[in-house]
């Protein structure tokens, strides 16, 4: 752990935003240099408080994240955001909207925003997101916000793997959405009841009483409730049990291992096995056992 930082990491430690952006790209693309880069950066991490922000589509996560950035900046904190886009390159509207909302922080050197596509290598979303968070941590940001849509195990994993997780709710979501939402209620360290000025907010607040987690009411568009949200997050940070960090790393190690193990499979070997299985010459379970023996 005492090895000197690589030149690129040294520039990140020195606060060079272009070096940071370049490193993020290397990590996101899983380039050959990424592993050495992350190893070199790792000893310089551990300062930032990383918060996962998730919730149903339409709950106002992006607007809330933007308002939270403003609140943190007022408190003199440097903030980095990893925004996980839920959609493919084919979608445009929602992402463009988010970008416009974020643009008001564009000229602030104390804010760094990185958008990430969710598509890509098998199971790679959560590992890559948290690798990016480590780079941002090494770069000296005080807070790292990971914003992700709260639907689907992969997206939920992204938020769950953060040391603290805020789940954003809003009144007026349909029944089906409620059903999905159930899966993310359990990962919340704090609930944010956004759009608290809209019809149904009082009832939603009442529904949430059964969950033993603090709830903060906000109207992200007007920044109402943002000081209270920041206070709740500060409380979480101060009270974070040490084993939470260890659980985080145990979960991350399993994900990283799965991803790297698959990446090392020989593509020709996989294709040949797939042909034999399709022809019912052998079964997939025996093949996997053979591969695991190597």
Across 61-95, b (16+ Cβ under 10 Å) vs e yields bbbbbbbbbbbbbeeebbbbbbbbbbeeeeeeeeb
In angstroms, what is the minimal distance from the CB of 111 to its own copies?
A: 24
Stretch that binds its own copies, among 66-74, 139-147, 219-227, 262-270 (CB under 8 A): 262-270
User: For residues 34-53, which are near its own copies according to CB under 8 A?
Assistant: 35, 38-39, 42-43, 45-46
Site for its own copies contains 206 (CB under 8 A) = no
Residue 51: strand, helix, or coil: strand
Is 162 within 8 Å of 148 (Cβ atoms)?
no
Residue 81: strand, helix, or coil: strand
Site for its own copies contains 32 (CB under 8 A) = no
Q: What is the Cα 252 distance to its own chain's centre?
A: 12
Q: Which of 5, 13, 21, 95 binds its own copies (CB under 8 A)?
A: 95
CA atoms within 13 A on the CB side of 126: 24
Site for its own copies contains 285 (CB under 8 A) = yes
In angstroms, what is the minimal distance from the CB of 235 to its own copies?
A: 21
Site for its own copies contains 207 (CB under 8 A) = no
Site for its own copies contains 215 (CB under 8 A) = no
Count of residues that bind its own copies according to CB under 8 A: 81
First to last CA, the chain: 31
Q: Which residues contact 149 (CB under 8 A, 6 or more apart)?
A: 54, 55, 56, 57, 61, 84, 86, 155
Q: Which of 28, 137, 189, 259 binds its own copies (CB under 8 A)?
A: 259
Q: Provide the mask over 130-169, with x wherever binding to its own copies is found by CB under 8 A and - wherever it is not.
A: -------------------x-xxxxxx-------------
Q: Which of 13, 177, 208, 215 binds its own copies (CB under 8 A)?
A: 177
């Amino acid at each position: 752990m005492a090895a000197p930082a690589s030149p690129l990491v040294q520039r990140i430690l020195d606060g060079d935003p272009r070096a940071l952006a370049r490193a993020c790209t290397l990590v996101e693309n899983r380039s050959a240099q990424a592993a050495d880069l992350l190893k070199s950066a790792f000893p310089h991490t551990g300062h930032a408080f990383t918060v996962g922000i998730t919730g149903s589509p339409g709950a106002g996560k992006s607007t809330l994240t933007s308002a939270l950035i403003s609140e943190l900046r007022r408190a003199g904190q440097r903030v980095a955001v990893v925004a996980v886009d839920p959609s493919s390159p084919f979608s445009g509207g929602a992402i463009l909207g988010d970008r416009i909302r974020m643009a008001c922080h564009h000229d602030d050197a104390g804010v760094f925003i990185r958008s990430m596509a969710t598509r890509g290598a098998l199971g790679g979303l959560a590992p890559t997101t948290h690798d990016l968070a480590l780079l941002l941590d090494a770069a000296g940001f005080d807070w790292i916000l990971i914003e992700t849509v709260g639907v689907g195990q992969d997206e939920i994993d992204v938020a769950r793997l953060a040391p603290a997780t805020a789940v954003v709710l809003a009144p007026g979501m349909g029944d089906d959405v409620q059903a999905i939402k159930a899966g993310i209620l359990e990962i919340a360290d704090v609930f944010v009841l956004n759009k608290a000025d809209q019809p149904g907010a009082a009832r939603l607040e009442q529904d949430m009483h059964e969950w033993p987690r603090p709830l903060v009411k906000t109207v992200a568009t007007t920044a109402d409730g943002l000081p209270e949200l920041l206070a709740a997050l500060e409380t979480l940070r101060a009270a974070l049990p040490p084993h939470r960090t260890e659980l985080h790393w145990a979960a991350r190690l399993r994900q990283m291992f799965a991803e790297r193990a698959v990446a090392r499979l020989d593509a020709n070997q996989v294709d040949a096995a797939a042909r034999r299985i399709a022809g019912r010459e052998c079964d997939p379970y025996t093949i996997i056992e053979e591969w695991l023996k190597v």
